[in-house]
Amino acid sequence: MNILYDEHLDGPLPKVDKQALLQALQAQIPDLDILHREEDLKPYECDGLSAYRTTPMLVVLPRRVEQVQALLKLCHGQNVPVVARGAGTGLSGGALPLASGVLLVMARFNQILHIDPDARTARLQPGVRNLAISQAAAPFGLYYAPDPSSQIACSIGGNVAENAGGVHCLKYGLTVHNLLQLEILTIEGERLTLGSEALDSPGLDLLALFTGSEGLLGVITEVTVKLLPRPQVAKVLLASFDSVDKAGRAVADIIAAGIIPGGLEMMDNLAIRAAEDFIHAGYPVDAEAILLCELDGVEADVHDDCERVRQVLEQAGATEVRQARDEAERLRFWAGRKNAFPAVGRLAPDYYCMDGTIPRRALPEVLQRIASLGAEHGLRVANVFHAGDGNMHPLILFDANQPGELERAETLGGKILELCVQVGGSITGEHGVGREKINQMCTQFNSDELNLFHAVKAAFDPQGLLNPGKNIPTLHRCAEFGAMHIHGGQLPFPELERF
Amino acid sequence: MNILYDEHLDGPLPKVDKQALLQALQAQIPDLDILHREEDLKPYECDGLSAYRTTPMLVVLPRRVEQVQALLKLCHGQNVPVVARGAGTGLSGGALPLASGVLLVMARFNQILHIDPDARTARLQPGVRNLAISQAAAPFGLYYAPDPSSQIACSIGGNVAENAGGVHCLKYGLTVHNLLQLEILTIEGERLTLGSEALDSPGLDLLALFTGSEGLLGVITEVTVKLLPRPQVAKVLLASFDSVDKAGRAVADIIAAGIIPGGLEMMDNLAIRAAEDFIHAGYPVDAEAILLCELDGVEADVHDDCERVRQVLEQAGATEVRQARDEAERLRFWAGRKNAFPAVGRLAPDYYCMDGTIPRRALPEVLQRIASLGAEHGLRVANVFHAGDGNMHPLILFDANQPGELERAETLGGKILELCVQVGGSITGEHGVGREKINQMCTQFNSDELNLFHAVKAAFDPQGLLNPGKNIPTLHRCAEFGAMHIHGGQLPFPELERF
């Protein structure tokens, strides 16, 4: 599958002579591994989203910061665009390469530099895998909280670039909330420290600005994260509902009861059946929706909270509430959820995973509206999401070999994201904007806001060499896309009030 | 008292003709209240710090956003500097006026616009007082967590500008962690929305960038904050120690035990005696140090945690551990702490309050070093601080009428901040940089980092009209100040290792 990306809308990229660049790199950084043959470049043409493909001009695989520094200085001097990439598991095309630029693969920077159990911090190279951090911290009774579903493979550098979340971010926050310090290189090759190990840093908060900036501001060479003590106990409840609506309302009720679960996830019938068929998690396949609610902390507290949540769920109309009997069942419950994307992927030749957020109170209404939008476009939509924080992942099923289905899926996806903005939410929860949602940025932001983004980007990278064409659309693109900016503005569907 | 501020180091400010400006304002914004007579301007010459004084050229007191917008457009067009001010309770001179600029007082924007108990948010005008938010949220069982000691007077707009903290920020975070959305005006008078009510916002995180930017990037016209459910129970333990050192180690032990107190505060003997004398809180006046440790949450949990903390404190060598018997005693224990600054202020004609952060593990050593620095400079230092998050508030006692004492206090203060940076901390925890710590910014950051701050500032305000001379020093100033940049660099005191 190959969704066309209208690159011309983001302005022409500099012309780069591949052979001259290759020779310059070989001459100036002789020990740098460079891939340049077509067959070696192929594996780098897409990311976890796989809807877009571009073969990079060159791939470089440095091992030392000095090599990255030399590379950036050279590219800066010769006006060559650079795209940094971690593990390549992104879901919005944020690290997609350019046909006329260098793909800077940071995967070999995979060392855990230091774990400080007293300060509860870990200092990491950017290519360290997310799960490896918690594994290394485990002997100290600590772990790293953000846990994207790709945590076995995705790297901490990519997590920072996309401000990754996960099932635990309702309670423990996104990557930005679990971060202390970054070492970065600017496009000019300057080494900078952003943030500090202290509570707060003076000056402008460039650490937060950099987090989630999708490779537009600099290249991450070191990451210091916070570690948390592992909860003594974690229990999970599985509640079944005979309507998606009731499940949505139960989510709001749990939060309103003053309980902050470690995870609060929802799946609809299509997702439940797909996951059950694939993982055999023990899900109720006849339920219209399920909620998975995890409570963690100290024993007595978790026990009390489980009882309170059970009461809330029953009052909200759950047809069944089951507590995982043991750790094995708890992990099985989660395995179904964590494998929901590949499970749904078995239902149709292709699927398109969306990532929007909405205020929690809008959940029932938005789910109804997604169902009718799906019916209008003749496509099935499975819903899997971080319900507690309103982060939805509608999965649109389609078959790219059927003429017109891909286009219908794209149109439907765009409408779902616009719906999120209309109800006061946003077009991304944790997957980022990347290349995929760049047009929807025109819906989310007005031209003054986009101009400010461009000005801040230019403060770091005036020539626009770092990851051009991602994250921030040009005003020209927005004009071509013809988006109505609806943030706080008028609503194309007058029946929908701003919640 | 009047500490001289070397304004020339931040470049010449634009020449402004007061009469012409006044006439233009009166003509173009006829319903705007403007103060222009010397006697009316006097009350605005300082903030809560009171060490610096400047009489503003003009003070404006708008009531409507449109007035602020018109003012900014006029000032932008006529190259007039603008300083925004909330309640004027700041402690670092962040809102100090300029002799050749407009002081924009936002105090009349004091309406609570909306409280949404389901979404747990409050939408506020910037002049709403911090405590008024919690009072308005109380009927819904909610409150706003950040609680600076000035909470009865300080405004939410100022809290955002300074990224204010408080005794609860160890557990509940600084202002930036409790913020969802800002409406701002740029210097050009554009209205922008930063952040959203959703979990995450796409694009660059300008909300976090803006928070703590001390009025350099724009003027806040609306703030949406998160509210939290009020804890069912709060208990406080008061532990006495016969050495500051042991108290410092006990702090680390509590955190290492996996407990996150709602507040964890430390006071040394000088501060204890001053507070006891002033408030009669029931503090042990013979103790070398006390810790106040508050635990909040559900009943059973708090009970268990109190027992665990008591054990940790006793093992750490506490000579006495008392739990407040009732709510009245709990509030009395806190009243002593919250009034420690004015209490210490009774010990000497003047005091200089510092605000640095250090890694928790460095507490005992840094306290020893502060004691010997104080002795070297012949000045007493009282220590009061948010121990849990390493945010120290050394209070340097002096008498400005004694020749040389003011200068010695300033020198000592600077050394204490440099010490914070040396051990891996920072020159501010929650009071901001403002005018007071602008020279120490040269110690904290290198010239590449400062240049990046200037570039980001210029993305918002290319002419540098918003709050010039605060927060970010010019490189010229740093060269004159002759600071050694020591972040991660060499240490002037070789005996001090980087902790």
- What type of residue sits at position B236? V
Task: Nearest chain B residue to A195 by CA: give it.
Answer: B426
Give B198 to chain A, closest Cα distance, Å: 5
What local confidence, expressed as pLDDT, does residue A50 receive? 64
List the domains of chain B with CATH numbers. Answer: 7-105 (3.30.43.10), 112-229 (3.30.465.10), 233-343 (3.30.70.2190), 347-481 (3.30.70.2740)
| Chain A residues closer than 8 Å to B360 by CB | 118-119
Q: Count CA atoms within 13 Å of residue A487 on its CB side.
A: 26
Terminal-residue alpha carbon distance, chain A: 37
Give A448 to chain B, closest Cα distance, Å: 7
Give A215 to chain B, closest Cα distance, Å: 11
C-alpha pair distances (Å), A230 with each of A234, A236, A292, B258: 10, 16, 20, 9
Are A203 and B445 a contacting pair at CB < 8 A? yes
Strands A233-241 and A320-323, by their bridges, are antiparallel
Nearest to B389 by CA among B220, B226, B254: B254
Task: Nearest chain A residue to B195 by CA: give it.
Answer: A426
Minimum mean pLDDT among B175-189, B216-230, B330-344: which range? B330-344
C-alpha pair distances (Å), A113 with each of A104, A110, A121, A127: 21, 9, 11, 12
Are B456 and A459 a contacting pair at CB < 8 A? yes
Are B209 and A211 a contacting pair at CB < 8 A? no
The residue count of chain B comes to 499
| Chain A residues closer than 8 Å to B471 by CB | 202-204
What is the C-alpha radius of gyration for chain A, rounded to an integer number of angstroms? 23
- Look at residue A193 and give its three-state secondary structure: strand
Structure tokens, A168: 């635990």
Nearest CB to B163 within list A165, A200, A298: A200
Span B470-493, average pLDDT: 65
Using CB atoms within 10 A of its CB, is residue B117 exposed (0-12), middle (13-18) or buried (19+)?
middle
Please enumerate in sequence order all residues whose Cβ is within 8 A of that of A409, keeping only pairs 6 or more positions apart, or say none: A350, A352, A377, A379, A396, A398
Structure tokens, A17: 């002579």
| CB count in 10 Å sphere of residue A326 | 8
What local confidence, expressed as pLDDT, does residue A217 receive? 98
Number of H helices, E strands in chain A: 17, 19
Task: Nearest chain A residue to B454 by CA: give it.
Answer: A459
Task: Nearest chain B residue to A297 by CA: give it.
Answer: B301
Are A200 and B174 a contacting pair at CB < 8 A? yes
Give A278 to chain B, closest Cα distance, Å: 30
Nearest CB to A301 within list B199, B201, B298: B298
Interhelix angle B299-315/B244-256, nearest 10 degrees: 140
Among the residues of B88-168, which ranges form H helices? 130-137, 156-162
| Chain A residues closer than 8 Å to B437 by CB | 202
Are B297 and A298 a contacting pair at CB < 8 A? no
Nearest CB to A361 within list B119, B256, B429: B119
- What type of residue sits at position A1? M
Please enumerate in sequence order all residues whose Cβ is within 8 A of that of B151, keeping only pairs 6 or more positions apart, or say none: B129, B130, B131, B166
The span from the CA of B119 to the CA of B51, in Å, is 42
Are A426 and B196 a contacting pair at CB < 8 A? yes
| Chain B residues closer than 8 Å to A486 by CB | none
List pLDDT tens digits, range B66-88: 999 999 999 999 999 999 999 99
| Chain A residues closer than 8 Å to B165 by CB | 199-200
Are B202 and A252 a contacting pair at CB < 8 A? no
Using CB atoms within 10 A of its CB, is residue B411 exposed (0-12), middle (13-18) or buried (19+)?
middle
| Chain B residues closer than 8 Å to A255 by CB | 120
The span from the CA of B379 to the CA of B396, in Å, is 7
Give A309 to chain B, closest Cα distance, Å: 14
Please enumerate in sequence order all residues whose Cβ is within 8 A of that of B74, keeping only pairs 6 or more positions apart, or say none: B24, B25, B28, B29, B80
**DSSP assigned state of B12:** P
List pLDDT tens digits, range A108-154: 999 999 999 988 999 999 999 999 999 999 999 999 999 988 898 99
Task: Indicate if ipTM > 0.90.
Answer: no
What local confidence, expressed as pLDDT, does residue B256 receive? 80
Nearest CB to B198 within list A358, A361, A441: A358
Q: Count CA atoms within 13 Å of residue B204 on its CB side.
A: 26
Task: Nearest chain A residue to B470 by CA: give it.
Answer: A203
Beta-bridge partner residues of A426: A357
Contact (CB, 8 A) for A79 and A463: yes
pLDDT band for B462, please (50, 70, 90 cuts): very high
The span from the CA of A7 to the CA of A288, in Å, is 42
List pLDDT tens digits, range B174-210: 999 999 999 999 999 999 999 987 767 788 999 999 9
Nearest to B424 by CA among B386, B466, B390: B390
pLDDT band for A8, please (50, 70, 90 cuts): low
What local confidence, expressed as pLDDT, does residue B485 receive? 54
Q: What angle do CA B167, B171, B174 make, to 5 degrees?
A: 65
Give A95 to chain B, closest Cα distance, Å: 15
List pLDDT tens digits, range B5-29: 566 667 778 889 999 999 999 999 9
Are B176 and A445 a contacting pair at CB < 8 A? no
Position B3 pLDDT exceeds 60: no
What local confidence, expressed as pLDDT, does residue A489 receive? 33
What local confidence, expressed as pLDDT, does residue B2 receive? 42
